[in-house]
Amino acid sequence: MDAFSEMVIGAVDSAKSSIVKIETYKNQNGKRIPQGTGSGFFFSSDGYLFTNSHVIHGADRIRVMLFDGENYEATLVGKDADSDLAVLKSDAKNFHTARLGDSNDLRIGQFVIAIGNPYGFQHTVTTGVVSALQRTLRSTTGRLMDNIVQTDAALNPGNSGGPLINTSGEVIGVNSAAIPGAQGLCFAISINTAKTIAAQLIRFGKVKRAYLGISSQQVDFVPKLAHYHDLKNKRALFVVKVEPNSPAQTAGVKDGDFVVAFNDIPIESSDDLFRMLTEEKIGIFQHLTVVRNDQKLDVRVTPVESRQRA
């Protein structure tokens, strides 16, 4: 067997027993009606699973099918429609926990593997490369999701919630969406974002996040500009859009600004900023450092609590 095939098989073998098929049901007129299917994967030994929020939206009952064909009930721990992530809990037995990687280590062109249940076909494997990083994608609630991994590994309905893994079998993304009618335009939520959100979903059942109202894209920061302003940043967040009537707009942040620090702590990725926009920052002045043209500006911004969407 060729080395390429052995690499794919090895990665799949190390991850496959953590992956489940998710079946959802709706109660209607006293009957339990099948609603849809999707994918998910165990990320803890005590039965917590990742999937997408849209996979389990509106479900009255959730069941998971393991790799060996065994079926178990699952309960919803919490979901966040703004990031299209949900955490489930199951009493399933005989599963393995997925190994979670570091999505900050991803590189464009890196080989990746998607595993899921497209159209109900259990444990389907597709391969591709990382096409782009730090994409922005609009969720079903209308909110913009940052730090999205773009790949050309084929995704179809039913893949949602399954893992995107690297050649070591580590999960580096949660498969989320494909563009209907397009070829090779598929997207996954970075695993670093998912890990941060999971901690809140398990604790609160929802995500309590502070909201600024900017959509951004990670870019390399010009070394000359960093040196001129005495900044340590190698990367920064380029502000693609400032949402109308948002805290960022009120504070004077503009499209085209480079966000380089939050409360004097360097910001180099959307995950960096997300981790800092915690509950205790809501309603309190924060300092956002931006570079605009050749000026470094300290902007005072007051985050508000992000409204939970259905």
pTM (predicted TM-score): 0.74
**Residue 273 pLDDT:** 87
In a domain, 69, yes or no: yes
For residues 179 and 235, give the distance between their C-alpha atoms in angstroms, rounded to a whole number: 28
- Structure tokens given for 123: 């444990």
**Residue 144 pLDDT:** 66
Same domain, 48 and 27: yes
Same domain, 227 and 244: yes
Range of the domain at 115: 103-204
**Residue 142 pLDDT:** 63
Q: What tens digit of pLDDT does each residue of 89-117 get?
A: 999 988 999 999 999 999 999 999 999 99
Active-site residues, by number, are 54, 84, 160
For residues 31 and 53, give the distance between their C-alpha atoms in angstroms, rounded to a whole number: 24
For residues 164 and 143, give the distance between their C-alpha atoms in angstroms, rounded to a whole number: 23
DSSP 303: -
For residues 34 and 27, give the distance between their C-alpha atoms in angstroms, rounded to a whole number: 9
For residues 91 and 178, give the distance between their C-alpha atoms in angstroms, rounded to a whole number: 31
In a domain, 68, yes or no: yes
**Residue 137 pLDDT:** 79
For residues 110 and 130, give the distance between their C-alpha atoms in angstroms, rounded to a whole number: 5
Q: Is the Cβ–Cβ distance between 274 and 196 less than 8 Å?
A: yes
**Residue 309 pLDDT:** 53
By three-state DSSP, how is residue 121 classified? coil
Q: What tens digit of pLDDT does each residue of 213-228 get?
A: 998 888 999 899 899 9
Q: Which of 29, 61, 90 is the last residue before a domain boundary? A: 90
Same domain, 188 and 117: yes
In a domain, 67, yes or no: yes
Same domain, 296 and 230: yes
Same domain, 216 and 266: yes
Q: Which of 154, 189, 204 is the last residue before a domain boundary? A: 204
What is the dihedral sign for C-alpha 47, 75, 82, 288? negative
In a domain, 5, yes or no: no
By three-state DSSP, how is residue 19 classified? strand
At 26, the amino acid letter reads: K
For residue 71, the tally of other CB atoms under 10 A from its CB is 12
Q: Is the Cβ–Cβ distance between 116 and 39 less than 8 Å?
A: yes
- Structure tokens given for 134: 């730090």
Same domain, 253 and 187: no
Gyration radius of the chain over CA positions: 20
Q: Is the Cβ–Cβ distance between 304 and 211 less than 8 Å?
A: yes
> Which residue numbers in the chain have pLDDT < 50?
none
